[in-house]
Structure 1
Amino acid sequence: MVTISSDFDSGNIIPFDISDPSNLELEIKPDGKADFYQWFYYRVDGAAGQPLTMRLKNAFGASYINGWKNYNAVASYNQESWFRVESSFDGRELTIKHAPDQDIVFYAYFAPYPTARHRAYVETLKASSLLSHQVIGRTLDGQSIDYFRAGEGTREFWVIARQHPGETMGSWWMEGFLDRLSDENNAAARTLLDKATVHILPCMNLDGVRRGHLRTNAAGKDLNRAWRNASMEDCPEVFLVRERMRETGVDFFLDVHGDEAIPNNFLDNAKGIPSWNDVHEKRFERYSSQLLEISKDFQTKDGYPASAPGQANLDVANSYVAETWDCLSMTLEMPFKDAAVNPDPARGWSPERCRHFAGEHLRVMADIANFLR
């Protein structure tokens, strides 16, 4: 008998009718106090040798319906190694087909990065002599908000991830970034830490992560639409980081995300803020062109359209930070699907590729630090 569950850290699925393994009817649960949904992560037991057909019946109402186009779900037997499985979308349902080799198998929208893994990783980082750790406050659910600082240079670099909890590629990217930043033998890290002080928030939205949300925190707030008016009552995660930024200043800001629909890595700048000028443009072009030169996984043709002059949404972190501190401020978007540039059909975009990509960003950060002011 096949059973399906998601009552664990970051889990999300509603078993609707699981009496027939060839026609398992499931639904994705929306964020608790908001209507967003697309993230799913669940466990199937008792399925070894059985061809499973899993139908996510409410996929047509997902927050980003174009995310299902040319998309394949991920599966794992050990939650460490994830691979792609056949998936299709008919305009209403996302259908996942797989015949697992083992009795227990996990399926997800992208390789999960639950709060338990975050906590374990934070503990390993605390042992680094190059990183200092601080809990800067608590989430609405009472989870500690972890902040790391490295270097003593004059440029103030800020790097954050997982404002949207379902965008787990942000945490895999952070692992690659922090592993290298804390490596005493990494030349790019040493160069960057000589020039800059780096401030890192590895996971902004821990409550949303644990609850299995796509975009929002425990109060149903989208953190990346809260930067102008965040309060301790509904968005302590943003409020506390913003206040710390006011203490240090910001010369460089990178906010790490994932995009459901666009099958490529890309950078979004803050064009459209009231103060946008040629200096902003040159900073962004320098970073983008250097990343393009060294990374096989980066491209500049696909991305978001620029906001009209003066029309950028200042509730978004990227635009708020650029306008407030007159600095290079960017959003990094990575795909849930395979990347059209440098594809890997077996794994698609993956944790391993996120970690590698982070190392390439670190090299560019080290190169451009002196150019920022």
Structure 2
Amino acid sequence: MLRISSRFDSGAIDVVDCSDPANIRLNLRPDNASDFAQWFHFRLTGARGLDCVLNIENAGQSAYPDGWDGYYAVASYDRAEWFRVDSEFDGQTFRILHTPESDAVWYAYFEPYSWERHQELIGGALSVSPWVELVPLGVTPDGHDLDLLQIGRPAPGKKNVWIIARQHPGETMAEWFVEGLLENLLDEQNAISRSLLESCVFHVVPNMNPDGSVRGNLRTNALGANLNREWGAPTLERSPEVLWVRERMLATGVDVFLDIHGDEAIPHNFVAGCESNESFSKKQHELQEAFKAAWLMFSPDFQTEHGYEVGKFGPETLTLATNWVGHTFGCLAYTIEMPFKDTASKPLLAVGWNGERSRQFGASVLGALNAVLPRLSA
């Protein structure tokens, strides 16, 4: 008997009918307290050897319908190795066409990053280096810890580098990115990392939105807040995660800020800066240009031709993390975006853009940071 289930960490789907493998009918499930719907993660059992067509019938009404064109769903038989499967979109229904080779197969919008793996990330970082300190910032409405890793010892003259990820919980590539960055930053034999830690203290929040992550939300926390529109005036009642991080930033100062995200529609890795801020300075412009030039040298997966147009967010601009931080601290501040699809310039059809490629991309940003470091004091 066919069965679809999603009662697990980050699971999300609504089942309309799963009696016929050739016409399994599904709907995207919206975030628990908002109308955003795009993320899915579910398990199909009882379909080994059957030619299945899984129809997500409300894809055309999703948060980002342009995201389905050229997109292929990911699947796994063991939740460790994920691969892309044949998919198509007719403007309304998104279809997954797949013949499972196992009694159970998991499908997802992107390779998931579980709350359990987050715990392993924190524990691993603490066990690898004596220079890592865990700073619990608060307890979320659902009872999860909001974790900050401080790496390096504060000292006069040291720069403060802030990196946050997964404000939007469905953008799981962001925490994969942080995992790769941390692995290399904590490698005592990595010359770039040693150079950075001589001059900088890193403040890393690997998951800004643990409630939304576990609930299987696309963009919001348990209270229905899109955290990346809360930076202008966060409140304990609606966006405590942003409030706590902002308070810590104001205490430490910020010299570099990176906010890690994923984009549904654009098949490229790119950055978005603070050009639309009225306070955007010549120094910030020079730092942005130097950072981009350096990252192009360190990663062929990075590009600067495709991205967001300046002024895209209009009156919301200073409610976004990157713009608020850039305005408040006058620092180098960038949003980093990765694709849910694949990189159009360097595709890998079997896996698309995935967790491992995100990890490697995260590692590569350390080279760009190290290259721009001398300019921070110029």
Indicate the SS of the match to 1:314. helix
Cα displacement (A) at 1:308: 8.2
Contact 2:126 2:132 in 1 (8 A): yes
Cα displacement (A) at 1:66: 0.5
- Aligned sequence identity (%): 44
The reply on whether 1:103 has 2:107 as its aligned counterpart is no
| Distance (whole Å) between structure 2 residues aligned to residue 369 and residue 140 of structure 1 | 38
Matched letter for residue 151 of structure 1:
G
- Residue matched to 1:336: 340
Contact 2:142 2:211 in 1 (8 A): yes
Q: Which moved more, 1:273-282 or 1:123-132?
A: 123-132
- Residue matched to 1:158: 162
| Distance (whole Å) between structure 1 residues aligned to residue 125 and residue 85 of structure 2 | 33
Q: 1:237-256 to 2 correspondence within 5 Å?
A: 237-256=241-260
Cα displacement (A) at 1:366: 1.6
| Distance (whole Å) between structure 2 residues aligned to residue 348 and residue 199 of structure 1 | 30
| Distance (whole Å) between structure 2 residues aligned to residue 219 and residue 10 of structure 1 | 16
- Residue matched to 1:145: 146
Cα displacement (A) at 1:294: 2.1
- Residue matched to 1:364: 368
1:272 pairs, out of 268, 271, 276, with 276
Contact 1:39 1:214 in 2 (8 A): yes
Cα displacement (A) at 1:61: 0.6
| Distance (whole Å) between structure 1 residues aligned to residue 227 and residue 184 of structure 2 | 27
| Distance (whole Å) between structure 1 residues aligned to residue 217 and residue 313 of structure 2 | 33
Contact 2:298 2:365 in 1 (8 A): no
- Residue matched to 2:60: 60
Q: CA RMSD in A?
A: 1.3
| Distance (whole Å) between structure 2 residues aligned to residue 111 and residue 311 of structure 1 | 33
| Distance (whole Å) between structure 2 residues aligned to residue 357 and residue 50 of structure 1 | 37
- Residue matched to 2:133: 132
Matched letter for residue 80 of structure 1:
A
Q: 1:291-330 to 2 correspondence within 5 Å?
A: 291-307=295-311, 313-330=317-334
Indicate the SS of the match to 2:10. coil
| Distance (whole Å) between structure 2 residues aligned to residue 310 and residue 66 of structure 1 | 21
Q: 1:178-197 to 2 correspondence within 5 Å?
A: 178-197=182-201
Contact 1:157 1:198 in 2 (8 A): yes
Structure 2 residue runs of 5 or longer lacking an equivalent are: none
Matched letter for residue 223 of structure 1:
L
Cα displacement (A) at 1:140: 1.1
Cα displacement (A) at 1:185: 1.1
Indicate the SS of the match to 2:22. coil
Indicate the SS of the match to 2:127. coil
Cα displacement (A) at 1:189: 0.9
Indicate the SS of the match to 1:221. coil
Given the two structures, how large is their TM-score scaled by the length of structure 2?
0.97
Contact 2:298 2:367 in 1 (8 A): no
| Distance (whole Å) between structure 2 residues aligned to residue 370 and residue 2 of structure 1 | 60
Cα displacement (A) at 1:262: 0.1
| Distance (whole Å) between structure 2 residues aligned to residue 308 and residue 281 of structure 1 | 18
Matched letter for residue 236 of structure 2:
M
- 1:198-224 deviations in Å (ceiling 9; x for gaps): 100000000000110000001000000
Contact 1:272 1:311 in 2 (8 A): no
How many residues are treated as equivalent by the alignment? 373
Q: Which moved more, 1:362-371 or 1:303-312?
A: 303-312
Given the two structures, how large is their TM-score scaled by the length of structure 1?
0.98
* Residues 372 and 215 (structure 1), Cα distance of their counterparts in 2 relative to 1, 3 Å cut: same
| Distance (whole Å) between structure 2 residues aligned to residue 269 and residue 198 of structure 1 | 20
| Distance (whole Å) between structure 1 residues aligned to residue 9 and residue 160 of structure 2 | 34
Cα displacement (A) at 1:370: 2.1
Matched letter for residue 115 of structure 1:
W
Contact 2:294 2:367 in 1 (8 A): no
Q: 1:84-95 to 2 correspondence within 5 Å?
A: 84-95=84-95
- 1:201-260 deviations in Å (ceiling 9; x for gaps): 000000000110000001000000000110111111100000000000000000000000
Indicate the SS of the match to 2:174. helix
